[in-house]
Amino acid sequence: MTLKNKTCEPCRGGVPPLTLDAAQAMLANVPAWVLNASGTRLSRRFEFTDFATAQAFAVKVGEASDTEGHHPVLSYSWGYCEVVFYTHKIGGLHENDFIMAAKVNALG
Amino acid sequence: MTLKNKTCEPCRGGVPPLTLDAAQAMLANVPAWVLNASGTRLSRRFEFTDFATAQAFAVKVGEASDTEGHHPVLSYSWGYCEVVFYTHKIGGLHENDFIMAAKVNALG
């Protein structure tokens, strides 16, 4: 099953976050996303030609994430929207973050 | 005229940003907003009890700012929305930023 068709499983906390190596390996499945240096955050910046389109995209991502119960930080202004996934309960990345990144790529 | 009823004037660049003293003086007009240390950014964090309400608020702020042609950076996730005003063309704050902050307070 491709990543974008998977469903986020409830994340209970207590499980370890993905290691940096594991996160880097999964990155190949989500083109254009980047990891921070410690491998604890997964982000992608989308560019737009105005404010309204950037906001509409944020809302589309937000709705998809609310459906899965796994929410990014969405930051946008004129011409861009940045999406950052991170799993608070485990202080790093979970497969859920990559599933959501793949779903966002399918929206873009 | 109260700040919230004013309209953002086109900002041409080339005009100096508000001084830190001037920005601090204007802060009294926009309750709950905070300045960064150098007085170049004006921000307020709003708290919510879920994701959808935070996103709906971001959109309301976004629409008001698009009407004025003066856009904040909007950052939100589950339970909060942060609004940051800054005038790129002058590298700091302009009266427009305080006008928008007052308009956002009127929405909240």
pLDDT digits (tens, 9 = 90+) for B3-39: 999 998 887 778 899 999 999 999 999 999 999 999 9
pLDDT one-digit tens code per residue, A46-65: 999 999 999 999 999 999 99
The amino acid at B14 = G
Q: Does A59 touch chain B (CB under 8 A)?
A: yes
Sign of CA dihedral A29, A33, A38, A40: negative
Q: Is residue B11 part of a domain?
A: no
Q: Is residue B13 part of a domain?
A: no
Of B59, B66, B73, the CB nearest to A75: B73
Can you give the CATH number for the domain in which B103 is found?
3.30.1360.20
Looking at chain B, the whole-number percentage of residues with pLDDT higher than 70 is: 100
> Mean pLDDT for chain A?
95
Q: How far apart are CA B29 and CA B105, in angstroms?
A: 10
**Helix-, strand-, coil-residue percentages of chain A, each rounded to 5:** 45, 20, 35
Q: Is residue B10 part of a domain?
A: no
pLDDT number for residue B11:
78
Q: Is residue A4 part of a domain?
A: no
Task: State the alpha helices, DSSP H only, in B1-108.
Answer: 20-26, 51-68, 95-107
The answer to whether the CB atoms of A76 and B74 lie below 8 A apart is: yes
pLDDT one-digit tens code per residue, A59-82: 999 999 999 999 999 999 999 999
pLDDT number for residue B52:
98
Closest by CA position to A86, among listed A78, A75, B29, A46: A75
Q: Does A55 touch chain B (CB under 8 A)?
A: yes
Residues A17-39, mean pLDDT to the nearest whole number: 96
pLDDT number for residue B30:
97
Size of interface A-B (CB pairs under 8 A): 48
Q: Does A72 touch chain B (CB under 8 A)?
A: yes
Q: Is residue B2 part of a domain?
A: no
pTM (2 d.p.): 0.94
The answer to whether the CB atoms of A77 and B76 lie below 8 A apart is: no
pLDDT number for residue B102:
97
Q: Is residue A33 part of a domain?
A: yes
pLDDT number for residue A57:
98
Confidence check: pLDDT of A13 > 90: no
Q: Is residue A78 part of a domain?
A: yes
The domain total for chain B is: 1
What range does the domain containing B53 cover? 18-107
Looking at chain A, the whole-number percentage of residues with pLDDT higher than 70 is: 100
Q: Is residue B69 part of a domain?
A: yes
